[in-house]
Amino acid sequence: MAKKLNIGMIGYGFMGRTHSNAYRRVTNFFDVPYEPVLKTICGLEADEAKAFAGQWGYESSCTDWRQVVDDKNIDVVEICTPNFTHAEIAIAAAKAGKTIICEKPLAMNGEQAKTMVDAVEAAGVANFVSFNYRRVPAVTLVKQLIDEGRFGKIFHYRANFLQDWTISPDVPQGGMATWRLDIKSAGSGVTGDLLAHCIDTALWHNGPIGRVNAMTETFVKERMHAETGKKEAVGIDDACTFFCNFDNGSMGNFEATRYARGHKALYTFEINGEKASARWDLHDLHRLEWFDYGDEGRLRGWRSIHMTDHDGGHPYMDHWWVPGLQIGYEHTFVHQIADVLTGLGGGQHAQPDFRAALATQRVCDAVLASAAKGQWAEVVKD
């Protein structure tokens, strides 16, 4: 019988749902060493927390995150709250000896992220940051192909994350639904929210970034604040584009915006190496486009691999349906919980941990500093 692991979830918004869903499904599909028990859900509004507990099967609900952190019965503290709250909760949870799973981005900025790394490392607690796209099977396969040397030397890494949900100036900033637009809650705009995903994946795939050159734009300068009801200056970046040097000699090119009309969550990347290229698109996440220069000339060309063939070794797919039947967004959260539980059971701790997420945060900081100054910025290496 798998040992029980008591989960205290803080935050019942979008991410609280994705993580709760993952806990409910993981033991049905993965043979993991722990059985997660949904103990407590914590959120701002008592009646909403209670309703969430009923809907997702939590044993209790509360409105004070300290209750979760102080609860001796809780093994894992899950932080699914807005960015400005991550550090305080994580540091308290580390002191209380909890395993911590935190939503991305880890913190408001690199300095704050460093205090979180120091806290978990001093306490010796397991820690993990939810950059879920690493665990899309196609994205994981790309990592395997890079590690096998199939690309040869990598020349280019380019990634985009395009959305269009904040074009209207009537979208407010702040509050429960639109805290991502409020600099005080989010720390930054698309850089921390969207580019952080691209950067995390890129660092994992292609290694450290040395320096960056960026520009940002805030298209709507003032928005009504959902909490004060008043028009306030917008402090976040609505769009950001940067180019960079990776330490391995390759060039990087990244762009994120919430003003790309027609695109909802178009995360794409393309990698060009000496021997092969690959490209991937979140809107078609179960496909990997692959070009292998080693193919016989007459048949050489881009191929589109349907990532559902576990006989062929597609990552994670042997846990799901039969070959040919695809999976989607929510499964990436199931995969990461499965990997975290396996790591806690004595395997290798799942990545990215807080230290890896700090590296992403440092790139974000350099991007924002470069855009502010209009010049190259070096990435801090811890």
Q: Which of 37, 265, 305, 380 binds ligand SOE (CB under 6 A)?
A: 265
Is residue 237 at the binding interface for ligand SOE, with CB under 6 A as the rule?
no
Does residue 182 touch ligand SOE according to CB under 6 A? Answer: no
Q: How far apart are CA 144 and CA 130, in angstroms?
A: 20
Residues 6 or more apart in contact with residue 260 via CB below 8 angstroms: 162, 163, 164, 266
238 binds ligand SOE (CB under 6 A): no
Report in angstroms the alpha-carbon separations of 21 from 54, 238, 242, 326: 13, 30, 35, 18
Query: Is 380 an interacting residue with respect to ligand SOE (CB under 6 A)?
Result: no
| E-assigned strand segments in the chain | 3-10, 34-42, 60-62, 76-79, 99-103, 127-130, 154-162, 209-217, 222-224, 231-233, 239-246, 251-257, 266-273, 276-281, 287-292, 303-306, 377-378
Per rule CB under 6 A, is residue 193 in the interface with ligand SOE? yes
Q: From CA 222, how far away is CA 228, in angstroms rounded?
A: 13
Cα–Cα dist 315/70, whole Å: 38
Q: Is 171 in the site for ligand SOE (CB under 6 A)?
A: no
Residue 260 found at the interface with ligand SOE (CB under 6 A): no
Contact 157, 139 (CB under 8 A): no
* Lookup: tokens for 144: 């395997």
Q: Residues binding ligand SOE: what is the number (CB under 6 A)?
A: 3
Residue nearest to ligand SOE (CB): 193
- Compute the least distance from the CB of residue 191 to ligand SOE, in Å: 12
Minimum separation from the CB atom of position 104 to ligand SOE (A): 6
305 is a site residue for ligand SOE (CB under 6 A): no
- In angstroms, give the least distance from the CB of 264 to ligand SOE: 9
Residue 265 CB, nearest distance to ligand SOE (Å)? Answer: 5
User: Closer CB to ligand SOE, residue 198 or residue 317?
Assistant: 198
Least separation, in Å, of the C-beta of 373 and ligand SOE? 27
Question: What is the total residue count of the chain?
Answer: 382
Contacts to ligand SOE by CB under 6 A: 163, 193, 265
